[in-house]
Structure 1
């Protein structure tokens, strides 16, 4: 259940950022933005939050793991937004700036989301006390 809640929190964060950046600032259609949000959330949660963040260093070295996972999340978000946006819009160059801006904002949010994952979702991994 913790993973479902974390996934929903991440989707809301990603969708909010992409709605502001893609839909409001760059006129990307709402449906396209929601599809991109779902793809970014799914891939980055599994790859960035569960695999890389948890295994990129020693469990007690949260800062190093967070830095590595945040960088991977930036690259993943940028590439997914750019490539899916290109497929949906048909223009490659028009999606570079929105993808870069959105990935930068998402990376800032990911730093805090990783702390949530560390302490609330995977607390047993680091022997944190929950509650």
Structure 2
């Protein structure tokens, strides 16, 4: 049940950030933002929050989220929206930075709830 709650928190956070950047900033439809949110949430929760966060620090995992978010938003955004490569890359870059900031605090929640068991508990804050 804790994973469902964590995924819901992550989903709402990601949807809100992507809606503001992609829909309000670049005119991407809400349905496309929802699709990107679902794909990004599933991939980043498994890879970043449950795997990488355990093996590294919060800062490393949040930095990895920048790259992962950029790639997923950029490629999926181009496939779904028809926006140009450069335009979608800019939208993806803005989205990646904003989402990574949110992910930094989400990682603290994940570790606090012991959803990802830390081997180095002291390191999760840095």
TM-score, normalisation: structure 2: 0.89
Structure 1 portions without partners, runs of 5+: 57-64
Picking from 64, 71, 75, the partner of 1:72 is 64
Counterpart of 1:39 in structure 2 is: 39
Q: 4+ residue runs of structure 1 moved beyond 4 angstroms?
A: 123-126
- Superposed displacement of residue 46, structure 1: 0.3
Q: Quick check: which has more Rg, 1 or 2?
A: 1
Residues 31 and 123 of structure 1, relative CA distance in 2, 3 Å threshold: closer
Q: Measure how far apart 1:123 and its partner are.
A: 7.3
Displacement, 1:74?
0.8
Output the CA distance in 1 between the equivalents of 2:72 and 2:107: 20
**1:46-81 deviation digits (Å, cap 9, x = unpaired):** 00000000122xxxxxxxx10110011110001000
Count of residue pairs brought into register by the alignment:
120
Higher relative contact order structure (alpha carbons within 8 Å, sequence separation ≥ 6): 2
Matches for 1:23-102 after TM superposition, within 5 Å = 23-56=23-56, 65-90=57-82, 91-102=84-95
Gaps of 5+ in 2: 122-126
CA contact (8 A) 1:3 1:121 kept: no
Q: Is the 8 A contact 1:74 1:103 kept in 2?
A: yes
Give the one of 98, 105, 113 matched to 2:106: 113
Normalising by structure 1, we get a TM-score of: 0.85
Instruction: Tell me the distance in 1 between the aligned counterparts of 2:11 and 2:41.
Output: 6
